[in-house]
Each structure stands twice: as C-alpha cells, then as structure tokens.
C-alpha cells in the first residue's frame, strides 16, 4: 500500500459534461503528453470482478500498444469499496488510474467523467463485469486505425449474439431497438446494436460536444451529438455475469425513452429550426409544461385551503399561498429540468436561492403584465374575456420565459 492513498485517486472533473479538445491537466498548466487510447471501466459494486478484468485488459493492451494506453476505473463510491480494490492494483498495473465519485452517480456520467480525465486520442468504454469479451478490443482498435470515428462491439452482426437470454429479455431488447428506430431513426438506424455499452470513439469526433445523457445508453448520445462520419462494427457475444449483479431495473426503460425524446428534440428538425430563428424552442416547451404543472398545483392548493368543504379560508389569502406554492413548484422543476444544464454549472445553496428570488420577482411582474394585457385586449381589441385571457397568458408566459432565461438562469462566470 502506498503512503498517499487518496492522492493517487484521479480528481473528479466537474461542470458540464463536455469533452475537451486537448488533454486536460489545465490545473497544473502543463499539457500532459497525449497517448493513443483511454479505456474507461465504469464500476458499481464490482469488487469481485475488478482484479480479473484489469488483469486481462492489461494483457491484451500491453501486447497491442505497450505503454500507449490507460485504464480508467470510474467507481461511484461502491459500498463494497471497489475503488479501493482498484487502487490497490495500481502498483502492479502502472497504466491503471482510478476515480472515486462521491457527489454524482450514474453509468453514463461516470463514463463521461472518465473521458474528461483521459489523455487518449481514442476514448473507449467497457463494462467492469467481464460480460464484454476483452479480446474484441483489438478488433475495435483496428477499426479506428482504419479510419472509423466510432467502433462499436455489436451483438447483432456476424459473430455476435447473447449467450442464454430468456425470450422475454430478447423481446424487450428488440422492442427497445424498434422504439428507438421510430423515435430517433437518424441515430438508432446507424448502428446495429444501439444499446451497446462497449465501444470506442475518436476524441476529434467528440471534442467541443457537450453530452447530456439520461440513464444507461451513452452510445446514443455519442452518435446523436458527436460527429461520426464512419462507424465500424465488430460482432461479440454478450457473456453471462459470473460475479456480482446487474444494476438494470425498470427505471432504465423509462430513462431510455426519456433519452430518446430528449435527443430527438436536441438533434432533430426542431433544433435546426430553433437555431435558425434564434429561439430555444425545446426549452420553451419544457418551460410551458412546467407552467402547466403549476396550474394544477395552484388549483389543488386553492381547493385545499379555500373550499367550503375543506379549510374554508378566505379566497385572497388562499390564492396568495396557492400562487406562491405553484411558483415554488415551477422553480424546482425549471431548475432541475428546463434549465438543468445551467443550474449544473452554478450549484450551491446561495446560487440556487438567488435564482429562486429572481424567478419569484419575474413571475410577479409577469402576473401584473398578465392583468394589464387582459384589460387592454378586452377593452380595446377583442371583447371576449376568454380569448383576451388566452392572449394575456401567452404573452405573460413568453415574458416569464424570456426574462428568466436572461436573468435567473443566465450563464455567469
Ligand atoms: N460508475 C458506475 N455508476 N458504474 C455503473 C453504474 C453506476 O451507476 N451502474 C452500472 N455500472 C457499471 C457496472 O458495474 C458494470 O461494470 C457496467 O456499468 C454495466 O452495468 P450492468 O448493471 O452490468 O449492466 P448490464 O449488464 O445489464 O448491461 C450492459 O449491457 C447493455 C447491453 O444490453 C451494459 O454494458 C450496458 O451499457 C449495455 O448497454
Ligand atoms: Mn453487466
């Protein structure tokens, strides 16, 4: 055991999930020499697998590209202390680096954080549970050497398959792929195994790109947002797990659909149009949906407080409380969803409080605008209170959105 145990861990990159062009190490100001290949091994509770996989991967890569690669284990603070086991292997395997994440969680972001700390010109990922056969690595690397921007290990090309999956699991897997083809044909249609978690990509095809994944399927993100001109595929058989257990639950299916839709919005025609006119349509739609949820919250609280069958409090007092709770609801959702990318850059309670304060004031101003527009439209333009109200709501929503975009969730230094 070395004396400085914690010092030998990699620092966890923070901020947005962007892949930089140059190798990092900006903290020291020295640009460390780049290497050919960085392979990230995301782990969660893989104590019984980690030594074996590090050993096999090192053997394969030592032969193929001695000293020109690194293995980066990114562990999410596993309760079985996988990171500690990995760390204890560092003396024996000098190409091994270990990151222990304690703040963030999740497979996809683990992979990206690993890539952000990587020095390689080619960035790869492999599961830490030996379900991905390490021998395939050299074929994937050859694919890249022959000019591919992305090389994917696939279960659905020649030489590929799954070992002994049940009919149900096969069906679910295929069903997910078909769904992907429907929602996101331009991305999912480019690869025979879009669910693969075993692939490598040229840094140059990802640099400058900010990834924003949900759930497990990081390959979708890479193909959807990166600049993949040519893609190579290599067949592999997905082995059975011998140690530990899979972390896949039903939540991954929900995340997957969410991810498909988000990518569709981010890369589809809507996005192109939105860039052309300089208006963030996707964000505005989310803002609108959040606003709609606020209406329900407002109504429910108003009912609970003022209805004669419930608390029967005075109407105005009830409405003020209901409105404020709705504003709070909207703030939380907007902060976590609509403007997630911005709030991630500005974490911490005081920052969040500041945003909430601004949001509150802007919404109150929006309410006044709402009343004003309603009166103007009703009295001078369209003498129908409901149409006038719709117009007033639309204008107030755009105001709320735009001013909050510019003030509350503005990207500051
Ligand atoms: N750091 C980190 N954080 N690692 C994680 C997390 C997490 O939250 N969840 C899972 N992992 C690691 C596991 O330790 C393992 O090394 C790898 O990610 C894959 O997780 P499994 O739970 O074993 O997934 P699987 O075997 O069901 O799914 C695999 O096959 C899919 C193809 O159907 C994965 O490779 C998927 O990425 C792949 O898409
Ligand atoms: Mn697995």
pLDDT tens for residues 154-168?
999 988 888 777 888
Smallest CA separation from ligand 1 atom 12, residue:
43
pLDDT reading at 360 higher than 90: yes
Strands, sheet with 96-100, edge to edge from the N-terminal-most edge strand: 96-100, 69-75, 35-43, 120-125, 199-202, 150-154, 231-235
The stretch 28-37 carries a mean pLDDT of 70
Range list of H helices, 41-122: 47-64, 82-88, 107-116
Ion ligand 2 residue ranges (Cβ < 5 Å): 129, 131, 246
**Which of 48, 100, 107 for mutating ligand 1's site (highest number of atoms within 8 Å of CB)?**
107
**Quick one: average pLDDT of 44-50?**
96
Interval between CA 190 and ligand 1 midpoint (Å): 22
271: Cβ below 6 Å to ligand 1?
no
Per residue in 196-245, pLDDT tens? 999 999 999 999 998 988 878 899 999 999 999 999 999 999 988 888 88
Burial of 158 per CB tally in 10 Å (0-12, 13-18, 19+): exposed
Cα 53 to averaged position of ligand 2 atoms, centre (Å): 13
Q: What is the pLDDT of residues 372-406, one digit of tens each?
A: 999 999 999 999 988 998 899 899 999 999 999 99
Q: Work out the pLDDT band at 413, boundaries 50, 70, 90.
A: very low
Write the CA distances from 188 to 136, 206, 232, 238, integer angstroms: 22, 18, 14, 20
- pLDDT higher than 80, residue 338: yes
Looking at residue 265, what is its pLDDT? Answer: 80
Q: Percent helix, strand, coil in the chain (nearest 5)? A: 55, 10, 35
Ligand 1 atom, smallest distance to 101 CA:
1
Q: Tell me what percent of the residues of the chain surpass a pLDDT of 90.
A: 65
Is the distance from the beta carbon of residue 108 to the nearest atom of ligand 1 less than 6 Å? no
| Ligand 1 atom with least separation from CA of 106 | 8
Please give the average per-residue pLDDT across 89-102, as a whole number. 97
If one compares 412 and 152, the residue with the highest pLDDT of the two is 152
Closest residue to atom 6 of ligand 1, CA basis: 107
> Ligand 1, from 10, 42, 243: best to mutate by most atoms within 8 Å of Cβ?
42
- Tell whether the model's pLDDT for residue 192 goes beyond 90: yes
Q: What is the pLDDT of residue 411?
A: 61
Domain boundaries, the chain: 3-267, 279-408
The mean of the pLDDT values for the chain is: 90
Kindly tell me if the per-residue pLDDT of 410 is higher than 90: no
Superfamily of domain 3-267: Spore Coat Polysaccharide Biosynthesis Protein SpsA; Chain A (3.90.550.10)
């Amino acid at each position: 055991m070395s004396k400085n145990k914690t010092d030998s861990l990699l620092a966890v990159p923070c901020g947005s999930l962007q892949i930089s062009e140059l190798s990092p190490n900006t903290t020291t100001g020295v640009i460390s020499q780049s290497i050919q290949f960085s392979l990230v091994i995301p782990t969660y509770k893989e104590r019984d697998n980690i030594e074996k996989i590090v050993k096999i991967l090192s053997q394969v890569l030592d032969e193929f590209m001695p000293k020109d690669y690194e293995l980066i284990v990114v562990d999410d603070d596993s309760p079985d202390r996988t990171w500690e086991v990995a760390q204890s292997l560092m003396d024996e395997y000098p190409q091994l680096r270990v990151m222990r994440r304690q703040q963030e969680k999740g497979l996809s972001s683990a992979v990206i954080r690993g890539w952000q700390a990587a020095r390689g010109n080619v960035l790869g990922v492999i599961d830490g549970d030996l379900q991905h056969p390490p021998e395939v690595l050299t074929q994937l690397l050859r694919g890249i050497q022959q000019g591919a921007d992305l090389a994917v290990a696939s279960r659905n090309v020649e030489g590929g398959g799954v070992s002994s999956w049940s009919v149900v699991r096969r069906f679910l897997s295929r069903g997910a792929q078909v769904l992907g083809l429907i929602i996101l044909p331009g991305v999912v249609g480019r690869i025979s195994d879009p669910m693969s978690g075993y692939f490598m990509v040229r840094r140059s095809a990802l640099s400058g790109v900010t990834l924003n994944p949900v759930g497990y399927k990081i390959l979708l993100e890479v193909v959807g947002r990166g600049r993949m001109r040519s893609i190579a595929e290599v067949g592999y058989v997905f082995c059975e797990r011998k140690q530990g257990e899979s972390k896949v639950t039903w939540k991954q299916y929900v995340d997957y659909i969410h991810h498909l839709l988000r990518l569709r919005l981010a890369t589809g025609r809507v996005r192109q149009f939105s860039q052309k006119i300089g208006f963030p349509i996707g964000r505005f739609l989310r803002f609108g949906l959040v606003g709609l949820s606020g209406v329900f919250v407002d109504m429910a609280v108003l009912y609970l407080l003022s209805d004669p069958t419930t608390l029967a409090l005075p109407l105005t007092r009830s409405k003020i409380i209901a409105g404020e709770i709705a504003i709070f609801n909207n703030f939380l959702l907007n902060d976590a969803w609509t403007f997630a990318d911005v709030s991630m850059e500005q974490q911490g309670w005081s920052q969040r409080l500041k945003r909430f304060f601004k949001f509150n004031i802007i919404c109150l101003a929006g309410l006044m605008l709402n009343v004003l527009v309603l009166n103007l439209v009703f009295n001078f333009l369209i003498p129908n209170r409901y149409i006038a109200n719709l117009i007033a709501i639309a204008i107030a929503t755009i105001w709320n959105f735009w001013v909050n975009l510019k003030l509350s969730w503005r990207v500051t230094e």
